[in-house]
Structure 1
Amino acid sequence: MTFYDRDQELDALRTSFESPECGFYVVYGRRRVGKTALLKEFCADRPHIYFLAAQEAEARQREKFIEKIAEHFDDRVPRIGGWDEAFDYLGEKLATEQLVLVIDEFPYLVAENDSLPSYLQSFIDEQLQNTDSMLVLCGSSISTMESDVLGHESPLYGRRTGQIDLQPFSFQQAREVIGYDIEDAIRSYAVTGGTPMYLTLFDYDLPLGENIRTQMLSPTAVLYNEPEFLLQSELRNPARYMSILEAVATGHTTPNEIAGATGIDSGPLSKYLQTLRRLRLIDRAVPVTASAKQSKRSRYRVADEFLRFWFRFVEPNRSSIEEAPKVVFDGTIEPTLPDHVAPTFEDVCEEVVWEKIRRGELAPYSEVGRWWYGEHEIDIVGLAPDDDRILLAECKWTSDPVGHSVASQLREKAPHVRWGPETREEEFALFSKSGFVDGLADDLTDDWSLIDLTEVDVCLS
């Protein structure tokens, strides 16, 4: 399989390995995000031991670990009585050769023996630090990695030399994988999101609709049951979490709306939402002008485009999909797909704003995000507090060119954004899938930017 992007993460790992001192890196992130692929790419041209833990008894885990070490050093497998002896054996071998040791799915080991971080602490302090080798702990259970490896109360706290919280691809990064033109690329990203495995399952020589039908609407396809697998691997009782995700994916974004849609009382709901946020399955957002800690105007959204698509279109239609998937696609998905893509387009436009800031094509802004208050809402607002400057932008994923009315409405909404002094500098931008009506650019002043899909493509290529 082709390895995409991750240049920054690879550079960080290379720098650590080439350092004259030992390295202890922690790599974690959601399942399917590409952690194993990243580490295998890094290890490919370096001496290494790669150990993938499994959900099995501790004694067998330890046996396999020792076998891996002995195999690398062409040594007879020794008799080992515990993890302390296992790491002593490893330390003896590392004294003879510089290498990378990767322990993948480390949380599986901790689940069988929660004292393992203490054994590793002793190994790092007493043996690894006397070598120029590198230890990498990797895991998909974010809660375990953040508490038992990175947490203040972990024996390993403060010993890491670096960490990588691996994120899904942004649209700009995913563009390298998605083989469609810009319009279909955005539509496709709204279905797969930035998870590398999902992106590479699609055949970009086929129309998007065909990929959806074969990869998501077939009971035999990997993606058909993927969200259930993800939740079952993280949660003991996923049913209520499933209902919350479906509610958010179908437009219930405030706590009151989610409670009404699911029938879950506000007290328990708060804990469920917190868990879903910790697992990075939903995001909580507040208006960009508000304090994230203090604002009560929070909204939730499914954090992953694929999950948002699945809970909106697949989960509610499972029975129909099993009988007539083409009917579901033609009658339910295709007609409402533009509505689903529109929020994704806003995210893509936000990426364009940041890219133009980096290139110097837009004035700098320190914060960029959505804004809403009462009945008023603006897709993108940028804030530059040091310069008393604000950017206000709308994003239109419509089949008609954007005209004067959209520009007028945006200008009328500007005073409702209560931020900065009355003398603040205002800049405006319009993003449009279908371009702009003739004469609009001539009728707007220099503080306006009009950005169509061609410019989006050029900017993010």
Structure 2
Amino acid sequence: MEKPAEIFDRDAEWDELVRFARMPRTGAALGVVSGRRRQGKTFLLDALVRSGGGFMFTATESSEADALRQYGQALGDHLGEPTPLRFVDWDEAISRTMTLAPQGPLPVVIDEFPFLARVSPALPSIIQRALDPAGQRSNTQVRLLLCGSALSFMGGLLSGTAPLRGRAGLELVVRTLDYRAAARFWDIGDPRTAMLVNAIVGGTPAYRHEFTQDDTPAGPEDFDDWVVRAVLNPARPLFREARYLLAEEPDIRDPALYHSVLAAIADGRTRRGEIANFLGRQPSDLAHPLGVLEDVGLVIREDDAFKNNKGVYRTAEPLLTFYHAVMRPAWGDLERAGRSRQVWPRLQRTFLSKVVGPHFETICRNWARWEADSDILGSYPTRVAAGVVNDPAARTQHEVDVAVFGRDDQGREELLAIGEAKWNETVGLSHLNRLAHIRTLLRGKDGIRAERCRLLLFSGADFAEDLYSRAAAEPGLRLVNLDRLYAAT
């Protein structure tokens, strides 16, 4: 079962699916595949089924009776029956499904499983009973894969006292492509262009093919034209995609409230109190909507690097940030065909400050956590975050874009490095001096071991000449540009 050539990357995901589908054991086995929409889950599973000669059913929003009719039709077609199979209930349908593999492992996929389970709440229990060796009516080797995009629902399938708890032999999350893989996927060789595109569409594969019809910026000089013709064009699907992302989530009952929360985060109000002030509400009122947005994978909460009881909220989907920071305030103008080219120039400053800048900082943190080697950091990083450092003498606070922590030989946490990230300005000695001052403050702070703390300066533009000479002379100082961020490991 070789991975089809049309599947980009996803080597680890494909290997896990193949391992599960070919698992040499008697009896049925259960796997759960989840991930946000547009990540290629169905594409992967369809390729698996075609390679392994299995059966795949993709559910739709329908009543239980209609879903059973559709399932019987699909299963009958798979078996070559002259007429559709008819099932009285899901107990009968699942029992019939479990007879599909009497002679060897066979992948069976039920895609969009939450649609079925919501109208047939007993379905997980029915599947659990069918997986029980005492409940299997034949020597089946079905490898049943349940797939869905409703992250909170799919996570709940295997948690707590859920019927399928402890039954799954595979729990696979299909994540978005990282920024490096996304650059290769979009076939963009220029790091600056790749970063700008990633700040808008992130690593969601569908946004290149289905949503932009393979329209890729030809280079830095083509980026603005690409934004106008592919993103801000009312005739292209990507134009309204951010709105549909919320509408497709069944757990979101009041889209206006959730859009307002996302707008506050895109505006830089990342703490709960700041979001509440932006919305004119009490912080306690936002516990539920923020929790729902976290559950569906659209928002993530990150702890402050230096204060465990403090945290910030960030949008997990770059397209949502771009929509709320750039598109939403100018929606009336952008909806009129042909106006995007006149509107985009006045939106670019906001794009750079509220979209690209924060996104660049996130990429720098990801690089420090997963890509930087021990020669740069001095040790293996165990966590990376942003944080705020108090400066009592100056009666102010300093924001740290990148704080890298590791463990010493005794297992104690230590601060390996702190860093500052600037997207659109030349980084010079003033940035270095500020960072060195923050390091001095941290070394005097109780509970933080920063004796070996190094300094990292990230720039999306360039570094001053005198900074290059300082970095060459100081082993504890590292300069990281876009070429370094995108360099292959």
Q: TM-score, normalised by structure 2?
A: 0.87
Give the letter for the 2:39 counterpart: V
User: Does the 8 Å CA contact 2:428/2:466 hold for their aligned counterparts?
Assistant: no
1:377 corresponds in structure 2 to 399
After TM superposition, the score normalised by the length of structure 1 is: 0.92
1:442 to 469, 473, 483: 469
CA deviations on 1:326-381 (whole Å, 9 max, x unpaired) are 2221112x233322212221222223323444575542121112121342111111
* Contact kept? 2:425, 2:462, Cα under 8 Å: no
2:217 matches 1:191: no
- The match for 1:424 among 434, 439, 451 is 451
Determine helix, strand or coil for the equivalent of 1:102: strand
Candidates 344, 355, 366, aligned match of 1:351: 366
Query: Is 2:41 the counterpart of 1:35?
Result: yes
Please list the CA deviations of residues 292-345 of structure 1 after superposition, one character each: whole Å capped at 9, or x if unmatched. Answer: xxx0x222221211111111111121111123222221112x233322212221
* In the alignment, structure 1 residue 223 sits paired with structure 2 residue 238: yes
Q: Any idea what the Cα deviations from partners look like across 1:240-265, whole Å, max 9, x if unmatched?
A: 11111111111112222211211233
- The letter of the residue matching 1:309 is F
Percent identity over paired residues: 28
Paired residues of 1:172 and 1:351 also in contact (CA < 8 A): no
Q: Tell me how far apart the structure 1 counterparts of residues 169 and 275 of structure 2 sit (CA, whole Å).
A: 41
Instruction: For 1:232, give the aligned amino acid.
Output: A
SS in 2 for 1:94: coil
Is the CA contact (8 Å cut-off) linking 1:384 and 1:390 kept in structure 2?
yes
| Distance in 2 (alpha carbons) for counterparts of 1:421 and 1:128 | 61
1:407 corresponds in structure 2 to 432
Shift of 1:459: 4.0
Greater RCO, 1 or 2 (C-alpha within 8 Å, sep 6+): 1
Supply the AA of the counterpart residue of 1:230: L
Establish whether residue 331 from structure 1 lines up as the match of residue 346 from structure 2.
yes
Shift in alpha-carbon separation, 1:144–1:351, aligned structure 2, 3 A: closer
Q: Does 1:321 align with 2:343?
A: no
* CA 406–42 in structure 1, closer or farther in 2 if over 3 Å, else same: same
Count the aligned residue pairs: 453
For structure 1, which segment, 95-104 or 176-185, has the greater mean C-alpha deviation from structure 2 after superposition?
A: 95-104
1:109 aligns with 2:116: yes
Unaligned runs of 5+ in 2: 391-396
8 Å Cα contact 1:193/1:199 also seen in 2: no
Counterpart pick for 1:166 among 162, 168, 174: 174
d(CA) in 1 for partners of 2:450 and 2:38?
A: 48
Could you tell me which amino acid in structure 1 is paired with residue 482 of structure 2? L
How far apart are residue 2 of structure 1 and its match? 4.1
With over 3 angstroms needed to count, the CA separation of the structure-2 counterparts of 1:386 and 1:266, relative to structure 1, is same
Give the whole-Å Cα distance in 1 for the aligned partners of 2:118 and 2:280: 33
CA distance in 1, matches of 2:374, 2:107: 37
Pairing 1:395–2:425 present: no
Give CA-to-partner distance per residue, 1:257-290, whole Å, 9 cap, x none.
2112112332322211111111121122222233
1:179·1:205 contact (CA, 8 Å) conserved in 2?
no
Q: Which residue of 2 aligns with 1:156?
A: 164
Structure 1 residues 329, 419: closer, same or farther in 2, change over 3 A?
farther
2:484 equivalent among 442, 455, 458:
455
Q: Secondary structure at the match of 1:384?
A: strand
Structure 1 unaligned regions, length at least 5: none
Q: Partners of 2:100 and 2:450 in 1: how far apart?
A: 68
2:102, 2:138 within 8 Å by CA — same for their partners in 1? no
Q: Please point out which of 257, 273, 277 is paired with 1:240.
A: 257
Q: Cα gap change, 1:193/1:13 in structure 2, threshold over 3 Å: closer, same or farther?
A: same
Equivalence for 1:139? 148
Asked if the contact 1:117–1:156 (Cα under 8 Å) also holds between the matched residues in 2, the reply is: yes
Partner Cα separation in structure 1 for residue 454 and residue 374 of structure 2:
17
* 1:309 aligned partner: 322
- Alpha-carbon spacing, 1:359–1:410, altered in 2? closer, same or farther (3 Å): closer
Q: Aligned partners of 2:144 and 2:291: how far apart in 1?
A: 32
Show the counterpart of 1:89: 96
In structure 1, C-alpha distance between the alignment counterparts of 2:224 and 2:35, rounded to whole Å: 30
Amino acid aligned to 2:285? P
**Within 2, Cα distance between the matches of 1:267 and 1:421?**
31
